[in-house]
Amino acid sequence: MNWTNALPVVAVFSSLLPGLLIFALREQQQGLRTGLNLLGVTVKLIVVGVMLWGVSQGLDFRVEAPFLPGGALILHGDALSLQFVSLSAVLWMATTIYAIGYLRGTPLQSRFFGYFSICVSATVGVALAGNLITFLLFYELLTLATYPLVVHRGTREALDAGRSYLAYTVAGGTLLLMGIAVLHALSGSPQFVPGGYLASVPARHGPALTVAFALLITGLGVKAALIPLHGWLPKAMVAPTPVSALLHAVAVVKAGAFGIVRVIYDVYGAETLEQLDLTAPLIAVAAFTVIFASLRALQQRHLKRRLAYSTVSQLSYIVLGAALLGPIAAVGGLVHLIHQGIMKITLFFCAGAFEKTLGVHRISEMDGIGRRMPLTMSAFTVGALGMTGIPPTAGFISKWFLAAGGLEVGQPWVVWLFVVSGLLNAAYFLPLVYRGWFSIPTAEWPEDHQPESGWETRRMLLLPTLFTALLTLLMGLLAGSALGPLGWSQLIVAREFPL
């Protein structure tokens, strides 16, 4: 085994091992726990950096182990997987720091951070999975590792949310398993190939391929929160904010969206899908989700729930981008995978900071919060504008490419879909910004914890928030640089669509 084999494994284990070790720690061993976490974070970031460099240089990071007949365990770092891996590595760093700040003084931290790390490992595994079987393995691990995080508070409400989460995701996972089994029966589970490995399956298997596609997309759509499979996501808001943040930005929902991208491009391939004409329903569902979830978001009076519905809506951008089967749309979808993550995590970080510092949960309590917490509110504003697609934030770039992609494949309605969606996004985000900056606080804050440092909130809560907000801006402003997500997405698409 040389080093190119080892790196994908290290990438997975750099969070898995600390996670397992953290379980064994006592509650009071805060320093050790933080140290382990940060060690894992550092190792992972370095590994991801090296892999990014390597893939751009054309190196192949691949490792294989026997697993099932016809389906080995393959970890493979290609351009697409690294897109997701980098996102999870960077946001894991931010969220870990945030979580340390957020959870200070609460019980059961070892359990929390243990599962948290496993959750990230599973995400990285999902990203690096080189075939469907491996994907399934990590996908299910993700389901399981996230559950304890969702119910971390241990209240009845949290447990209810957890139940709903499990009901959806386990059912989804089972359908995914079915779909994978169908494909496995047809062609085994070979490695993902740009352009899809099912192109060689004879045409008479068309119905089987169709059913498998439906199963796979339904299974993945649960995590990608396609309506009507989204029910768990808003409920899962009872989880501690770092969890919601990670859930929404990276781990769970992205695993679903990423899986859909994988299935579309590397399993079926654009050609096969066009022959079978399978994407039309998916596009319809995604488009419906984009609009309907926005309308639902408008109804919410609870900050995190509104953010959750916004996630539902935004995830379908990614799905839509992938399903349109055009290179520009694919760039839009892929880049939104990153952008949405960064922006949404910013918003959740802010929501968590409001909650921890001032006890603000409801939108109506946000009046004038910008005077009390200007930096956090600035970050929130950046995130909200990004979600709306206002330049110069990252969201604008994705939206531009998605809309252009729709035109490119001869679906001009997509442009107007994004217009309407942008308007709705503005309708549910800008009032918050207005409240924060321009309204005058009407009452006392529900609770006010002024930290001793004199900062507006705990530093551990503030710094990751500002970091991701800054990233949101930079990804929009510096979109043209080759190393940015946009450049990387174009690299992926160049490899996926050999023209």
Partner 1 sequence: MNYALASLAIPFTVALLTLLLQRRSEANPIVPAITVLATAVSLVFAGLALETQAVSGAVSHLNVGGWDSPLAIRLRLTPLKALLLGFVALIHLLTGLYAWRAKPKIARDYWPLSALLHTSLAALILSADIFNLYVTLELLSLSAVALVCLSGPKAYTPALYYLLLSLGASLCYLMGVAVIYGQYGVLDMTVLAGIMEADHSTRFALLLMTAGLMLKGALWPLHLWLPEAHTYAPTPVSALLSGLVVKGPLFILWQLWNNLAPEALAREMGPLFAAGGVVALVSGGWSAFRAPFIKTLVAYSTVAQLGYALMGLGLLLFLQERIYAVALWLFVLAHGLAKVSMFLAAGEMQTLLGSKRVTAMRGATQTIPITMSAFAIAGISLIGMPPTGGFLAKWSLLEPLFTQANHWPWASGVLLGTFVSAAYVFRAIALGFYQAPMSREPRHFDRVSQWLALLPALLVGLMAFAGQDLIAWMAGVTQT
Partner 2 sequence: MNGTVNGVVNADLWLNVLLAPLAGIVVLLVVGRKSVPWLWLSCVPALLAAIWPPGELNPGYLWPAASWGAPDPLARGWLGFTALLWGCATAGAAGIVDWDKSGMRFWLFWLFSLSGNLLLVIGKDAISFYMGFTIMSIAAYGLVVHHGGPGPRRAGRIYLQLAITGEMILLAAFVMRAQSVGGSLALADWQQLPIDGFTLAALVLGFGLKIGFWPLHVWLPLAHPAAPSPASAVLSGAMIEAGILGLWRALPADDSLLQSWAGPLLALGLFSAFYGVLLGLITSQVKAALAYSSVSQMGYFLVILALAWRHPEQSSAFAILLVLFAAHHGIAKGALFLGTSIHPLHRWTWLVYLLPALAISGLPLTSGGAVKGDLKHWISESDFSHLSGVFKLATAGTTLLLARALWLLRRADAGTTARHRSGLLLGPWTLLCLSVVLVPLLWPGFREVWIEQLSWSTTWQLLWPMAAAIALTGFAIKMEWRVPEPLRRWYTPVLPFSLRLKRWLYNPPLPRTHLELDWRWWRQQERRWNHFWNERGIISSSGWLLGFILLAGVIWSAFW
419 binds partner 2 (CB under 8 A): yes
Question: What track of x and - describes contact with partner 2 for positions 310 through 329 (by CB under 8 A)?
Answer: ------------------x-
Nearest approach in angstroms of CB 247 to partner 1 is: 16
276 or 477: whose CB is closer to partner 2?
477
Cα 6 from Cα 4, distance rounded (Å): 5
* Span from 41-49, 64-72, 404-412, 461-469 in contact with partner 2 (CB under 8 A): 404-412
Binder to partner 2 among 33, 254, 296, 336 (CB under 8 A)?
296
Q: Which residues contact 445 (CB under 8 A, 6 or more apart)?
A: 358, 359, 360, 365, 372
Cα 340 from Cα 371, distance rounded (Å): 27
Work out what residue 207 binds among partner 1, partner 2, none; the CB cut-off runs from 5 to 8 Å by kind.
partner 1
- Number of residues in the chain: 499
- What is the distance in angstroms between the CA of the first residue and the CA of the last residue of the chain? 35
Work out what residue 363 binds among partner 1, partner 2, none; the CB cut-off runs from 5 to 8 Å by kind.
none
210 binds partner 1 (CB under 8 A): no
Binding to partner 1 in span 89-108, by CB under 8 A: 107-108
> Which phi and psi angles does 67 have, rounded to 5°?
-140, -75
Nearest approach in angstroms of CB 404 to partner 2 is: 5
Binder to partner 2 among 257, 320, 486, 492 (CB under 8 A)?
486
Cα 33 from Cα 25, distance rounded (Å): 7
Binding to partner 1 in span 119-138, by CB under 8 A: 133, 136-137
Work out what residue 155 binds among partner 2, partner 1, none; the CB cut-off runs from 5 to 8 Å by kind.
partner 1
Amino acid at 355: E
316 binds partner 1 (CB under 8 A): no
Cα 412 from Cα 407, distance rounded (Å): 5
Q: Which residues contact 436 (CB under 8 A, 6 or more apart)?
A: 366, 367, 368, 369, 370, 377, 380, 381
DSSP 415-470: HHHHHHHHHHHHHHHHHHHHHHHHSPP-S--S-----TTSSSS-HHHHHHHHHHHH
CB 475 within 8 A of CB 339: yes
Binder to partner 2 among 25, 46, 430, 463 (CB under 8 A)?
430
51 binds partner 1 (CB under 8 A): no
Cα 166 from Cα 171, distance rounded (Å): 8
Binding to partner 1 in span 69-88, by CB under 8 A: 69, 72-73
Work out what residue 280 binds among partner 2, partner 1, none; the CB cut-off runs from 5 to 8 Å by kind.
none
Work out what residue 440 binds among partner 1, partner 2, none; the CB cut-off runs from 5 to 8 Å by kind.
partner 2
Binder to partner 2 among 63, 128, 403, 491 (CB under 8 A)?
403
DSSP 331-397: HHHHHHHHHHHHHHHHHHHHHHHHHHHH---BGGGGTTHHHHSHHHHHHHHHHHHHHHT-TTSHHHH
* Span from 207-215, 223-231, 334-342, 425-433 in contact with partner 1 (CB under 8 A): 207-215
Residues that bind partner 2 in the complex, under the rule CB under 8 A: 292, 295-296, 298-299, 328, 370, 385, 388-392, 396-397, 399-400, 403-404, 407-408, 412, 415-416, 418-420, 422-424, 426-428, 430-431, 434, 437-438, 440, 476-481, 486
